Copies of this chain bind each other. A is one copy, B any other.
Amino acid sequence: MSGNTFGTLFCITNFGESHGPAIGCVIDGCPPGMALTEADIQHDLDRRRPGTSKFVTQRNEPDAVEILSGVYEGKTTGTPIALLIRNTDQRSKDYGNILQTFRPGHADYTYWQKYGVRDPRGGGRSSARLTAPTVAAGAVAKKWLKEKFGTTFHACMTQIGEVPIGFESWDHVPNNPFFAPVADVSALEDYMNALRKSGDSCGARLRVVAQNMPVGLGQPLYDKLDADIAHAMMGLNAVKGVEIGAGFASVADKGSTHGDALTPGGFVGNKAGGVLGGISTGQDLDVSVAIKPTSSILIPRDSIDVAGQPTEVITKGRHDPCVGIRAAPIMEALLALVVMDHALRHRAQCGDVHVDTPDIAAAGRA
Contact = CB atoms under 8 A, between A and B. Distances in A.
B365 A116 contact: yes
Interface in A19-34: 20-24, 26, 28-33
A123 to B, nearest CB: 8
How many monomers of this chain does the complex have? 4
Contacts of A241: 241-244, 247-248, 250
Interface string A118-142: 0101001110001000000000000
Contacts of A161: 251-252, 254
B14 A277 contact: no
Interface string A235-277: 1010011111111111111111011111110001001110111
Given A3-B222, A109-B281, A348 B350 contact: no
A142 to B, nearest CB: 18
A60 interface: no
Give the interface size bracket for A toward B.
35 or more
Contacts of A192: none
Contacts of A220: 3-4, 79, 107, 111, 125-126
A260 B313 CA distance: 13
A279 B110 contact: yes
A240 B235 contact: no
Contact of A2 (B9, B115, B301): B9
A229 to B, nearest CB: 7
A275 B237 CA distance: 11
A103 B13 CA distance: 34
B106 A276 contact: yes
A332 to B, nearest CB: 17
A113 B228 contact: no
Contacts of A307: 362
- Interface centre among A9, A305, A346, A359, by most B CB within 10 Å? A9
The listed residue with most B CB atoms (<10 A of its CB), out of A10, A119, A251, is A251
A60 B290 CA distance: 40
Interface centre among A240, A256, A302 (most CB of B within 10 A): A240
A102 interface: yes
A299 B254 CA distance: 11
Interface in A90-109: 102-109
24 contacts: A3-B221, A3-B224, A4-B223, A9-B345, A11-B13, A15-B69, A26-B26, A79-B220, A116-B365, A125-B220, A205-B251, A234-B242, A240-B243, A240-B246, A241-B247, A248-B290, A250-B290, A253-B292, A253-B293, A258-B293, A262-B302, A262-B303, A344-B349, A348-B348
